[in-house]
Structure 1
Amino acid sequence: MFTFDQLAGFIAVAEELHFGRAAERLNMTQPPLSRQIQKLEKTIGAELLERDNRKVQLTQAGQTFLEEARRLMALAERAPITARRIASGRTGFLRIGFTAASGFSILGPLLEEFGQILPGVDLDLQELVTGEQLNGLLTGELDLGLARPPFDEETFDSHLLYRESMVLAVPSTHRLAQLARDITPEDFKDEPLIMHSPTQARYFYDLVVRTLPIRHGNVVHTVSQILTMVSLVAARRGVAFVPHSATLLGIKGVEFLPLAGADDEQVELHAIWNRRITNPALARLLRDLEFSME
C-alpha cells in the first residue's frame, strides 16, 4: 500500500514536472523523492511519469491517478477537522422519530430550532408510532423521539413538549355541529365511531376508553393514524375523538367540537431520549435547548 508521503511526492512532481523543483518544494533532496515515486509506481503496477534528462511528463495513467491522489490528500487533510467537529457535536447525524400527529403540529417549529442550534448536523426523520420509537432509542437506531407516554423513566429521560385536549370530529353537516355547547357522552352515545387501534395507537385508545363511555358496538372503523380518522369523518363514515392539533390538518367538511371535561386528562407529547447518550450532536442539542436547562 502506498503512503501519503508518496502521494505528496507524486503530486509535487506532477505539478512541477521537474524533480528538482518538486524536491525543493517538499524540503527534501531529489534522490529520496525519486525513490518514493518508484515505490509508488511499483505498488500501483503502472508507470505514472515519463522522464529523461530533459523533461518529465505524466503518462495517461499518471493523469488519472493525479486526480485521485489530490482527492485522497484533501480527504486526509479534512479528516481530523471532521472528527473534531463530530466530537464537539457541530456536525454529524441526528436521527429523530416522530408520531404522525406531531408531524402536523410541533415538528416544524422544533426542526427550525434544531437547525439553528446544529446548523452543520443532518437531521434524519422517521415517522414511527411510540412503541417503534422506544425500540429505536434502545437499539441506537434513533437519537431522539417525539412520542407519547408511558415509557420507562429509568431508561429514558424526557421533556414534556405540550398538552392538548381531545375534541370530537364530526361531519360539517352533522346535527352535533349545530349545538352551541360542549359535547357530552349522551350526545354521541348512538353515533357510529371511528376508533383508534388498540395496538398501533394504544396511547389514544387507552385515553379515550379511560375517560369516555365508549360503546364498542358503535365502532365502525379502527385505524391508527389521526389523518385517516379525520378523512373518514369527512367522508361521513362516523365521528372520531382526536387531539385538538388535528384542526391544523385543514380537511374540508369536518367540524371539531369541544368535549365536556376534556381538560381533565389531556394528550401529552414528550421529547424522549436514552439516558446513555452516545451521539455528541444530541448531547449538544440537549445542552443548548432551553428545556434541558430546567
Structure 2
Amino acid sequence: MFQLTQLRCFVAVATELHFGRAAASLNMTQPPLTRQIQLLEHEVGVLLLERAGGSVRLTPAGEVFLREAEDILRRSQAATLAARRAMRADAGSVTMGFIPAASFTMLPQLLATVRTQLPDVQVMLREMQTADQIEAIGADRIELGIVRPFAPRSFTESAAIFREPFVLAVPAEHPLAQIESIPLGALEGQAFIEFCPSESRYLYELVAGRLRAEGVAPEVVQTLSHTHSILSLVDAGVGVAVVPHSAHRLRYAGVVFRPLQDAGGFDVELHLAWRRGGRHGVADTLRMLIQQAYPAPARP
C-alpha cells in the first residue's frame, strides 16, 4: 500500500512538472524524491509520469491518479484537523435539537451568539419534538436540546432559559379584538382552538388548567399540536386561542394579539436539556455559554 509521503511527492512533481523544483518545494534532494515516485508507480502498477530529457509530463493514468491523490491528501488533512479540534473544548461540532417554537423565539439570536463567541464550534440542528429530543439525548444521538419542560428522567438534566406570557389570539373582525386587555372570563362560551392534550401536553395543561382554575369554559371547536396551525385557524375566523406571546412573530394578517388580564404566573418556558454525567467537552462549553447568555428567568 502506498504512503501519504509518496502521494505528496507525486503531487509536487505533477504540479511542478520538474523534479528539481518539486524537490525544493518539499525541502528534500532529488534522488530520494525520484525513489519515492518509483516506489509509488511500482505499488500502483502503472506508469504515472513520463520523463523525456529534462521534461516531465503526466501519463493518462497519472492525470486520473492526480485527482484522487489530491482528494486523499485533502481528506487526510481534514481528519487531522478534526482530531485536533476534538481535543479542544472550544472547537468541533455539537448536535442540538430544538422544538419548532424555538425557531421564532430565541434560536436565531442564540446561534448569532455562538458564531460570535465560539466561532470554531459548528452547531448541527435537528428539529424535533420534546419527547423525541429526550429520547435522542439518552441514546447520545444529540448532545443538547431546546425543549418544553418535561417529566424528570434519570439520565437528563435541564434548566429554564426562556419564559414568556400567554396572550389571546383573536380574528381581526372579532369583537374581542376591540378590547385592549382581555379578562379570562371573556372566553366563556367562545369558539376556542385548543392545544392537543396528547401531542402538546405541556401547553395543553397550562392553558386548560388555568381556565379550569378560573371557572371559564370556552367551546372547544378544534385541537391542534402546533402554534402556527392554531393561528391559521384563528386567521380563518374559526375561533380564538391562547398562545405564547412570541406567536405574534408569525405575522398572520387576520390575527390580533391581546394581553390577558390578571394573568400573573400564566407563562410558558423553554428549557435547555443535556445528558446527566455526559462527557462532551465541546457540548459542555456550548451549554455553559447558552446558560450564561440565557440565565434561568426568575419565576413570577
How big is the shift at 1:48? 0.8
Relative to structure 2, which stretch is displaced further, 229-238 or 135-144? 135-144
Structure 1 unaligned runs (5+)? none
Verify: 1:264 aligned to 2:265, yes or no. Answer: yes
Superposed displacement of residue 156, structure 1: 2.3
Aligned amino acid, residue 123 of structure 1: V
Q: Does the 8 A contact of 1:149 with 1:268 survive in 2? A: yes
TM-score, normalising length: structure 2: 0.83
Task: Kindly provide the amino acid, as one letter, of the partner of residue 280 in structure 1.
Answer: G
Amino acid at match of 1:281: V
3-state SS of 1:264 partner? coil
Q: How does 1:209-248 map to 2 (within 5 A)?
A: 209-213=208-212, 215=217, 218-248=219-249
Distance 1:233 1:88 in 2: 49
Percent same amino acid among aligned pairs? 38
Q: 1:288: how far off? A: 3.7
TM-score, length-scaled by structure 1: 0.84
Hey, what does 2:183 align to over in structure 1?
183
Q: Contact 1:167–1:258 at 8 Å: present in 2 too?
A: yes
Structure 1 counterpart SS, 2:83: helix
Query: CA offset at residue 60 of structure 1?
Result: 1.9
1:212 counterpart SS class? helix
Q: Secondary structure at the match of 1:237?
A: coil
Alignment deviations for residues 19-59 of structure 1 (CA, whole Å, 9 cap, x no partner): 577667554672x6555333322322321122467654431
Farther-moved stretch of structure 1 (205-214 vs 50-59): 50-59
Go from structure 1 to structure 2 and tell me whether the alpha carbon gap of 1:16 and 1:124 turns closer, same or farther (over 3 Å shift): closer
Q: Which residue of 2 aligns with 1:195?
A: 194
Contact 2:171 2:237 in 1 (8 A): yes
What SS does the corresponding residue of 1:219 show, helix, strand or coil? Answer: strand
Contact 2:165 2:266 in 1 (8 A): yes
Q: Is the 8 A contact 2:183 2:262 kept in 1?
A: no
1:113 corresponds to which letter in structure 2? T
Change (3 A) 1:180 1:57: closer
Whether the 8 Å contact between 1:95 and 1:142 is mirrored in structure 2 is yes
RMSD, aligned α-carbons: 2.9
Q: Name the structure 2 match of 1:277.
A: 278
Matches within 5 A, 1:29-178: 30=31, 33-51=33-51, 56-152=56-152, 154-178=154-178
Runs of 4+ in 1 over 4 A off after TM superposition: 15-26, 32-35, 52-56, 291-294
Deviation at 1:223, TM superposition (A): 0.6
Gaps spanning 5+ residues in structure 2: where?
A: none
- Partners of 1:141 and 1:26 in 2: CA distance: 45
CA–CA distance in structure 1, aligned partners of residues 231 and 54 of structure 2: 82
2:38 is paired with a residue whose SS is helix
Q: CA separation in 1, counterparts of 2:69 and 2:187?
A: 73
1:167–1:262: 8 Å Cα contact kept in structure 2? no
Q: Alpha-carbon deviation of 1:126?
A: 2.6
The CA distance in 2 between the partners of 1:260 and 1:53, in whole Å, is 93
Distance 2:250 2:47 in 1: 66
Displacement after TM superposition at 1:194 (Å): 0.7
- The verdict on how the C-alpha distance between 1:96 and 1:8 changes in structure 2, with shifts beyond 3 A counting, is closer
Helix, strand or coil: the match of 2:264? Answer: helix
Q: 1:171 to 1:27 in 2, by over 3 A?
A: closer
The SS at the match of 2:113 is helix
Change (3 A) 1:175 1:288: closer
Kindly indicate whether the alpha-carbon contact (under 8 Å) linking 1:97 and 1:144 is maintained by their aligned counterparts in 2: yes
Task: Tell me, yes or no, if the aligned pair for 2:193 and 2:241 is still in contact at 8 Å.
Answer: yes
Write the distance in 2 (CA, Å) between the matches of 1:180 and 1:149: 30
For residue 278 of structure 1, report the CA deviation from its aligned partner: 4.4
Alignment CA distance shift 1:51-1:180 (3 Å): closer
